[in-house]
Structures are given as structure tokens and as C-alpha cells.
Structure 1
Amino acid sequence: MTAGTSDGAGRPPRADARRNRAKLLDVAAEVFATRGTDASLDEIAKRAGVGPGTLYRHFPTRQDLLVALLRDSVDALAVQAAELLAAPSPGAALTTWLEAVARHARTYRGLAGVLITTGQGPASNVLAVCHHDMRAAGAALVERAKDADAVRRDVELDEVFQLVNAVALAGDQDDDPTRHTRRLLTLVLEGLRPR
């Protein structure tokens, strides 16, 4: 069975298998956020309330688990960006999304490096797709904010992502990373506004 998508015979996974996969991903996200991407997989299985065999049936390798986490997180960010395109204030919508991107960057820091060091193949493909999806989601929000004069016309999308990643890194150094990240992001966004 591959990552909970089918049972090999083309049938969708059973409800308990879907629940186990979701629980494993939730717990893995928490554990990796606090202990890093080299945290014990057995501990993740135990905290999820399943045996190691169940974890390895869903995610045969650490890389498979990391790829699934990254893909789920980027998918959620893309969905949020699409929903925010309908928000009444383009500037506030961009701010909300960039706060979520900063949380993502803090949680998954080092993940891309771990996947890249494993070489080419599915992980590299997932990283490329995730990068593309993040750029597409961010581009639409930035352009909408520019059109509303909430962001300067000369601001480049790559600059926005670099600034958000720097904010996330700085936020990690504070006792209250969420508060610190929000404050720094507010200062950054003020700098992006037209004068």
C-alpha cells in the first residue's frame, strides 16, 4: 500500500488505515517540529497509538514520511491561498498567508535538506512540485496585493519568500516564536507597502 492511497488492487484504503495514516502524519509533524527530522520513528508510532509495522506499511522509509508531511503542508498552504483570494482585503489576505508560510518554514526547517541529501527520485520530484505550488499560490496573492496598492509594484515574489524565511529563522531564536515572528513579519510587510 502506498502512502494510504490504495491497497495495490486499486481499492481505496479502509477507514482505519486512513485514520492511522492521518494520525501518524499529525504525530510526526509534532515530533519533527520539536525534535528534528531525525527523531525516532518508533516513538512516532507509539505516540500515534500504532505499532511500528503500521507506520512502515504506510511509510516504508523516513524519507517517505517526510515527503508526505511536506506534501500535505504545501497542499494546505495552497488551499488557504486560494481561499484568501476571495478575502475583501488583499493586504490582510497576504499577511495571513505569509504568517502561515512562516509557521511552515519554522516547522519544516531542514526538511528540504534532508530530502535533497537522499539523492534524486521521488523526493526530488516532490520538492520540485512543492516549490512550484508554493510559488503559484504566493504569486496570486502578491499580485492581488500589488493591484490593491497594498504591496509595492517592484517587489519580487522570491524576495517575499526570502524575507519570510528570514523572519521564521529569527523567530526560532525567541522564547515566544509566534509573537516574535508576527512582529517581524509586520515590520517586513510595512517595508513592502508603497510609500
Structure 2
Amino acid sequence: MCISAPASFMAGSALAVVGAITIIKARQYDRHMLLFALFPVIFSFHQFIEGFVWLSLGGTFSGAIFIYIYLFIATSLWPSFCPLASLWVEPSRVNQAARYVLFAAGLSLSAYQFFQLTTSSGIEVKVVGHSLSYIIGYKSPPPEFINYTYALITVSPLFIVRNQTLNILGVLAGAAFLYTLFEMREVWYSVWCFSAAVFSAFLYFSIKGPRTKEVS
């Protein structure tokens, strides 16, 4: 998260509320959307974790566990969870093969990223501008295409489901990824995850209530 620990905690609190009402709405009207409804809650937890990373920079306590949890969610959870959510939301045969391929690829990428993270020599965190930069001491740095594969696997599931709100969120998330990767490379983990967290708040509108179902 940009700016500070309080900003991270505020964002986390807001997302927790949004996540709770999104889950309630999904349980009431469309249980197939439950995994997508969890996104704001996961991002809420993610922002709280980064808040503790910010606090640990003062040297009063070790932030190692928070740093590893933060990067596990950012690098290893989403490549599997996003394709899984798209499988769950649309159990029909529409684009089913593509969604299974993405899920399999996501599991593979998650395993690779987790291995890279847990076998690294350590992680350095520093403030760059108003954001946090996570420098992972890889034993063997991942090739550049891994970043684009990560984006493809995490964003594509939003495009291959028949839900206009999810499609729009896919465009926003993809644009944010490319912008942060090219223009804010040092801090793209932090800034892109925060951008995606903000976008996740709009998942509430992707769940059709009784009125929208009647119209459609």
C-alpha cells in the first residue's frame, strides 16, 4: 500500500466491510460468486499485513513473517485462486476448457513462485517514494516472461466469464498491472496489489440481485 501503515489499516478496514456485505449478497443471490466475493476479504487481510510491514520498518519488531505472508499472497495465491473462482462462478461448459487450462497453469505458477520465495536468501524491504519495494534474494532470478504469465493467469479469468462487471474489472486490473510494471517497477508488488484491492470493492456489483435477474 502507498503512503503509510495507517493508510493500509484504513484500506484493510474498508475492504473488510465491503467484503462482508459482498459475501452476504453472494450467499443470498448467487452462491457461484462466493469465491469472487472473497476477494475483498483477502485483499483486506493483505492490506493489514502490509500495514504491519510498514510498522516493522521502524525496527521495533521483526516483520519477516508479515513480509513472507504478504508476498505469498501476492505471488503464489492469486495465480491459482483467480482461475479457480472463474471455474466456480460458471460451472457450464462455456469456455470450460480454457478455464481448466488456466487453473492448471495457475497451480504450476503458484508452486514455482512459492518455491522461489521459500528458497530465497531473504527479502529486503525499503521505502521508495511513498510505497514499499520488496527485493527478493532469488537464488536463480525468474525470467521476465514469468511476470507476464502471472498477469495473464490472474487477469484472464475475469474476461472468460459472462459477467460484464468482471470483464470491466479485468480491463482495469490488466491496465494497472502494465502501468505499474513499466512505470513503477521497483514498487509494483505493492502498488498493483493496492490497485487490485480497490478494484475488488466493485465486485459487489458483479453479483446480480433479484431485480437485475428479472431484467436480464
TM range (shorter): 0.3 to 0.5
Query: Which has a greater percent of strand?
Result: 2
Highest RCO, 1 vs 2 (Cα 8 Å, sep ≥ 6): 2
TM-score relative to the length of structure 1:
0.33
